[in-house]
A and B are shown apart, each in its own frame.
Chain A
Amino acid sequence: MPRVIIEKDRCKGCELCVRACPQQILRMTREINVKGYFFAEVFDQPRCIGCTLCALTCPDMAITIGANSVVYRFFEV
């Protein structure tokens, strides 16, 4: 199962990952990080399909994606 790991203090709250996620499982928190930004979080991890689009879209390398099984590759990069 894929797993989205967000390093919250790298996040600048741009929300581009929220826009990119085809499953719409990301949202902005109501908390702020060390830089004072509302940061992104995953609220429905089990629905993640491991497409990596959120990570590809993040300008700040705040998202890493792990998987403990084989994940379907939706596209070649």
Chain B
Amino acid sequence: MAKLLMKGNEAIAEAAIRAGAKHYFAYPITPQNEVSEYLSRRMPEVGGCFLQMESEVAVINTLFGAAAAGIRAFTTSSSPGISLMSEGLSYITAANLPTVVVNMCRAGPGLGGILPSQGDYRQMTKGGGHGDYHLIVLAPASVQEAVELMMLAFDLADKYRNPVGILADGLIGQMMEPVDFDALPKPTVYDKSDWITDGAKNREPHLIRTLFLDPVPGEIENRKRAEKYRQIEKNETRYEIYNLENHPKLVIVAFGTIARVCKTAIDELKTMGIEVGLFRPISLYPFPYTELMQVGEKAQMLLSVEMSNGQLIDDVKMAMQGKKPIHFYGRQGGIVPAPDEIVEEAKKLFNVS
């Protein structure tokens, strides 16, 4: 099969099916409704199940049940919906269950707006729900990458028995790009027979719980989870670098769609004789701290470009440990910075007018 021209939301939906996820539960919210609409038609074709739930609260808990039954299931939503799911994500993490949640981030806080944003960076990477936990968070910059990361998300969720979040935005969801499904790796099948609740036949009952009234086992559970996160940090860091060959004085840090805008700006700056590099984290948790430090150390300064009011910059600061000045440029409310804005910002930093 040749490349298909697909809308991001539909490509993500199809990728999940290719990853073996035949169960999808969701609640309508803009800008990701095409996923539900696509899967309401597609799931019956593959013998799967699409269920429109009564709320995002119900959605995330249905995913808990489905994960406990041992199948691959997922949902898609957008910022306010993810807020409602935060409680459930905390529970799913506490129960060491795999699931995949896609956040087509829109502007916030509150109802905000339906245009693209990265305002959920902290919500996705630093928690949102209660307790010591992390989602594994992956951020695609193109429809093709969204498809690849979607496939990876299910594997990582099963491998580490931890929820995986895809943090994209309305741009990824709404734009049409060519997608190649053929080149994708086959999903990995993990043996779940020693923990799923599929009926206690010829074995002792399996119990999936999150309550630990006794503090000692409670701490042991938390330490086991912390160890899992150390493994994830060791093994699952992903990032992309761009135009670092000529040792640029300035390195832009940006993720997702905005990183593509930055690439255009970098190309434009190059024609003006100004070398700027790009560091694009693909895994937002685990964040590539060490790798960014290695890149940042060689530059004179860094610039965090975001569609939020300074969230990614916190991790850039953590990575750089105060060794280099870090600047910020961001737009909010659903406004996507244009390449010219970033060019201007870079020129300011180079004192070029």
* Complex contact flag A–B (Cβ < 8 Å): no
